[in-house]
Chain A
Amino acid sequence: MKHVDEFRDKALCQGLVARVASLVPQVQRKLGRAATAPIKIMEVCGGHTHAIFKYGLEGMLPETLELVHGPGCPVCVLPVGRVDDAISVAEQPGVIFATFGDALRVPGSERSLLQCKARGADIRVVYSPTDALALALAEPARQVVFFGLGFETTAPATALVVLDAHARGVPNFSVLSNHVTIMPTLQALLAAPELALDGFIGPGHVSMVIGTEPYEPVARDHHKPLVVAGFEPADVLQATVMVLEQLAAGKARVANQYQRVVRAAGNPRAQAVLAEVFEPRETFEWRGLGWIPRSGLRLRPAYAAYDAERRFAVANLSLPDHQACQCGEVLKGAIKPWQCKVFGTACTPDTPIGACMVSSEGSCAAYYNYGRLSTVRRLKERREVTP
Chain B
Amino acid sequence: MCLGVPGRIVAIEDEQRKLGVIECAGVRRIVSLHMVAEPDQALADLVGTWALIHVGFAMSTIDEDEAHRTLALLAELGEMAEMAEMAEMGAEARGEPGGGAT
- Asked if A and B bind, the verdict is yes
Interface set of A (CB-CB < 8 Å, partner B)? 1-4, 6-7, 11-12, 14-16, 18-19, 21-22, 25-26, 35, 45-47, 72-75, 100, 102, 127-131, 149-151, 153-154, 156-157, 160, 203-206, 208-209, 231, 234, 238, 241, 257, 259-263, 267, 269-270, 273, 359, 361
The one of A149, A150, A260 that contacts B66, using a Cβ cutoff of 8 Å = A260
Interface set of B (CB-CB < 8 Å, partner A)? 1-6, 8, 24-25, 32, 34-37, 50, 52, 54-57, 59-60, 62-64, 66-67, 69-71, 73-75, 77-82, 84-85, 100-102
Bound Cα distance from A361 to B3, whole angstroms: 10
Taking the closest CB of chain A, its distance from the CB of B69, in whole angstroms, is 7
Assuming the contacts A15-B78, A100-B1, A208-B52, asked whether A260 and B70 have C-beta atoms less than 8 A apart, the reply is yes
Bound Cα distance from A46 to B36, whole angstroms: 25
Inter-chain contact B59/A3, CB cutoff 8 Å:
no
The one of B1, B75, B78 that contacts A74, using a Cβ cutoff of 8 Å = B1
Q: Which residue of B lies closest to A206 (CB)?
A: B2
The one of A2, A26, A205, A361 that contacts B54, using a Cβ cutoff of 8 Å = A205
Closest A-B pairs by Cβ, 10 of them: A15-B78, A128-B56, A18-B81, A3-B6, A260-B67, A259-B66, A19-B81, A208-B60, A260-B66, A22-B101
The one of B1, B25, B70, B84 that contacts A22, using a Cβ cutoff of 8 Å = B84
Q: Which residue of B lies closest to A205 (CB)?
A: B2
Assuming the contacts A4-B6, A12-B74, A18-B84, asked whether A46 and B55 have C-beta atoms less than 8 A apart, the reply is no
Bound Cα distance from A100 to B3, whole angstroms: 12
Inter-chain contact B35/A203, CB cutoff 8 Å:
no
Q: Which residue of B lies closest to A182 (CB)?
A: B2
Please indicate which of the listed interface residues B63, B69, B78 has the most CB atoms of chain A within 10 Å of its own CB. Answer: B78
Bound Cα distance from A359 to B3, whole angstroms: 12
Inter-chain contact B2/A72, CB cutoff 8 Å:
yes
